[in-house]
Every structure is written in structure tokens, then in C-alpha cells.
Amino acid sequence: MINQLFCIQPDRENILRCIRLLGFKDLEDRRELSKIDILSLNVCVEFKKLDKYFKTIYLPCKQRKFISNYNFKNCITITRQLLRTIEYDIISKEKMIKNTKVMVYSIATKNEKDKYKLHKKRKKEGNIKKLNEPVVIDFN
């Protein structure tokens, strides 16, 4: 059992195939693709063609949840799960494009995603200082 999802390790070739279906070139492609861009590629139909492969790697109990219905969200989730087995992930964030809020997706290493999440957390707290930086409190 790998990653509590897979009975065998997903091979790199099929992981790359999935990210190409989403519109990325390779693992080093750092472009941000919008949901609209990805949907225009007819991803769900293409992922359905990989159904046989997914059934060989997913645990039977997870097959019902993730690969029984191919919609946009499941395609992103499947790709994200595959990428996590090789220390990569998909970062999703909201952006305003032509006055419309749109989800954008990009590929990042695990370290890059951790840094992004930490930066986002600090920004939310209003504290964008570096780690281990001394803090001076003045009670005047």
C-alpha cells in the first residue's frame, strides 16, 4: 500500500501523461492554468481513457470514491494524488480575471508548496517576517 490510496506505485510516465492532459508541459512547467483553460482541453473524457490504468493502481475501496465519476474536480484530485507520490503537488488559488473570480492551478514541489502555504498563513495573520527573526516588544 502506497500513500493509503494506491496498491502499487504509480509510474512516472503516466503521472506525466496526466499533467499533460491538464495542459502542463512537464513537472518543471510553472505556468498557472485557469479552470477555463483546463476545461477547454476536454480533460474528463481524456481521464476516462485512463480508467483501466487507474483501476490497477488505486486500492479497491478508493476506486469507488475517485475514479467512478470523472468530473473536473476529480481529475484535479487524481493528478494531485499521483504527484504527491513523487514529492510534487498542485497549488490552487483564486485570481481575478476580467472581473471574474477564477481558480488557477500550478505545479510545485512539496517544498515550494510548503513555503507558499507558510507565506499565505503569515500574510493572513499580517506578519510577513522571516522565521527565526528576533521580535522586539516595547511597552512604552
DSSP for 107-122 reads EEEHHHHHHHHHHHHH
pLDDT at position 133: 67
Instruction: Give the count of domains, the chain.
Output: 1
Task: With respect to residue 3, please indicate whether it lies within any of the assigned structural domains.
Answer: no
Question: Is residue 135 in a domain?
Answer: no
Query: pLDDT by residue (tens digit) across 61-98?
Result: 888 888 888 899 999 999 999 999 999 999 999 998 88
The side-by-side arrangement of strands in the sheet containing 100-109 is 33-34, 100-109, 88-97
For residue 121, being part of any structural domain is answered with yes
> Which residues does the chain have with pLDDT short of 70?
1, 126-133
What's residue 64's pLDDT?
Answer: 85
Task: Name the packing angle between helices 12-21 and 72-84 (round to 10°).
Answer: 150
Residue 94 lies in a domain: yes
Three cell numbers, residue 55: 483501476
5 occurs within a structural domain: no
Within-domain flag for 139: no
Residue 89: inside a domain? yes
Burial classification of residue 38, based on how many CB atoms lie within 10 Å of its CB (0-12 exposed, 13-18 middle, 19 or more buried): buried
In a domain, 133, yes or no: no
Q: How far is Cα 42 from Cα 115, in angstroms, rounded to an integer?
A: 32
* Domain assignment of residue 32, given as a range: 12-125
